[in-house]
């Protein structure tokens, strides 16, 4: 039996543990929240900071394998563990590269990965120097997450929103669709790729509204998106799972937006709809097992269950009966005791051979299921 340490004990760690049951894993989890979603599902739970060197180092020391479920972790401690013989996947140097959106963009540029044009900026004032580059998106180099650390700078009037810290000013892309491809790579260099998913964003909160898989794009576009995702993980030489978020522009070009070196929100539906889930695939990668087939058996959609505005406290799921009475509706709750506005409390996966019906089911979920308190 392998002992696997997971840095981060949120929903991604929880679903990773759920998949890990099938592999007889003994799991140790680190999270700052004493009631983290993984708390009751692991052999050992350590409460502590993910960004503190000593905490992360002491957590990982003596484990066979360490992995992450969030990229905002202390990579120096992980590098030290790697040096001492712990198998850390994804590799700490790659997590570090991805943590900083500036180094991520430079990596794409240097590796010939198509991505939106960009300018590195150190201060808010530097943004003002590039008015001719607008409309653009200003991203904070570090610590941006789920829409935080991202500002649209459409014209001069928006420049006040720019970050007065190292960032990257990216040409705004007039995209047709946002898509995501999850890839995985083994230590021996084998690569596995999942079907393309389409992300539909909530324009106000910049959170995924729902996703649908497979994406409604041409076969050529799908192949191109998969080819790009594979080239990203190959160029990184990363071991583990990588989610590659991309734009399909109105001209039909595909550009990499950003990547996440871990199981991803855009892969939740693989639990129900694909031969192998993203979680199982990540485990196969880090346990040195052959990859599973990524074949999708039925079209699917995924809706995040976000805490309703106006409610804060112990969570209740209103409308769960209505939603679960739909054919092909499955709930995944994250074990979070308290809800608050826009907190990710769970997700619903919908299965239906008919894409139109899938979207109707998405609407039904959004109208009928509310996370309140």
Please report, as ranges, the residues that interact with a copy of itself according to CB under 8 A: 1, 14, 18, 21-24, 26, 40-43, 272, 275-276, 280, 284, 289-290, 292-293, 295, 297-298, 320-321, 324-325, 327-335, 337, 351
Nearer to a copy of itself, 140 or 345 (CB): 345
Q: Which is nearer to a copy of itself, 176 or 312 (CB)?
A: 312
C-beta of 45 vs 342, nearer to a copy of itself: 45
First to last CA, the chain: 40
CB of 289 to a copy of itself, least distance (A): 5
Smallest distance, Å, CB 332 to a copy of itself?
Answer: 5
Minimum separation from the CB atom of position 338 to a copy of itself (A): 12
For the bound state, the minimum distance from the C-beta of residue 315 to a copy of itself, rounded and expressed in Å, comes to 9
Smallest gap, in angstroms, from Cβ of residue 242 to a copy of itself? 21
Contact by Cβ (8 Å): 248, 198:
no
23 or 53, CB closer to a copy of itself?
23
Cβ proximity to a copy of itself: between 43 and 218 the closer is 43
To the nearest whole angstrom, how small is the minimum distance from the Cβ of residue 153 to a copy of itself?
41
Are the CB atoms for 331 and 348 separated by under 8 Å?
yes
Task: Output 78 or 286, the one with its CB closest to a copy of itself.
Answer: 286
Q: Which of 93, 164, 88 is nearest to 123 (CA)?
A: 164
Cα 206 to Cα 134: distance, rounded to the nearest angstrom: 20
Contact 141, 101 (CB under 8 A): yes
Give just the sign of the alpha carbon dihedral 209, 139, 48, 54.
Answer: positive
Per-position b or e across 274-307, b if 16+ CB within 10 A of its CB: bebbbbbbbbbbbbeeebbebebeebbbbbbbbb
């Amino acid at each position: 039996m392998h002992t696997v340490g997971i840095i981060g004990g949120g929903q991604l760690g929880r679903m990773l543990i759920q998949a890990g049951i099938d592999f007889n894993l003994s799991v140790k989890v680190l999270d700052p929240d004493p009631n983290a979603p993984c708390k009751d599902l692991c052999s050992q739970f350590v409460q502590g900071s993910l960004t503190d060197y000593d905490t992360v180092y002491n957590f990982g020391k003596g484990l066979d394998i360490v992995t992450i479920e969030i990229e905002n972790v202390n990579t120096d401690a992980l590098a030290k563990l790697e040096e001492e013989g712990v198998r850390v996947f994804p590799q700490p140097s790659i997590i570090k590269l991805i943590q900083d959106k500036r180094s991520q963009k430079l990596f794409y540029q240097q590796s010939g990965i198509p991505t939106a044009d960009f300018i590195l900026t150190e201060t808010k004032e530097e943004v003002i120097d590039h008015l001719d580059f607008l409309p653009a998106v200003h991203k904070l180099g570090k610590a941006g997450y789920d829409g935080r650390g991202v500002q649209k700078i459409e014209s001069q009037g928006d420049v006040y929103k720019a970050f007065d810290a190292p960032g990257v000013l990216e040409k705004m892309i007039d995209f047709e669709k946002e898509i995501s491809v999850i890839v995985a790579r083994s230590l021996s260099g084998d690569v596995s790729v999942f079907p393309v998913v389409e992300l539909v964003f909530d324009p106000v909160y910049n959170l995924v509204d729902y996703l649908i898989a497979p994406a409604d794009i041409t076969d050529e576009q799908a192949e191109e998106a998969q080819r790009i995702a594979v080239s990203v993980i190959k160029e990184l030489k990363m071991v583990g799972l990588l989610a590659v978020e991309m734009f399909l522009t109105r001209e039909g070009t595909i550009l990499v937006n950003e990547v996440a070196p871990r199981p991803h929100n855009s892969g939740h539906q693989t639990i129900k709809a694909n031969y192998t889930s993203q979680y199982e695939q990540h485990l196969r990668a880090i346990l040195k097992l052959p990859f599973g087939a990524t074949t999708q058996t039925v079209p699917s959609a995924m809706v995040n269950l976000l805490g309703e505005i106006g409610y804060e406290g112990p969570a209740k799921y209103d409308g769960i009966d209505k939603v679960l009475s739909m054919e092909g509706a499955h709930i995944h709750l994250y074990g979070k005791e308290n809800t608050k506005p826009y907190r990710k409390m769970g997700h619903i996966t919908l299965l239906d051979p008919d894409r139109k019906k899938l979207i109707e089911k998405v609407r039904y979920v959004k109208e009928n299921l509310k996370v309140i308190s």
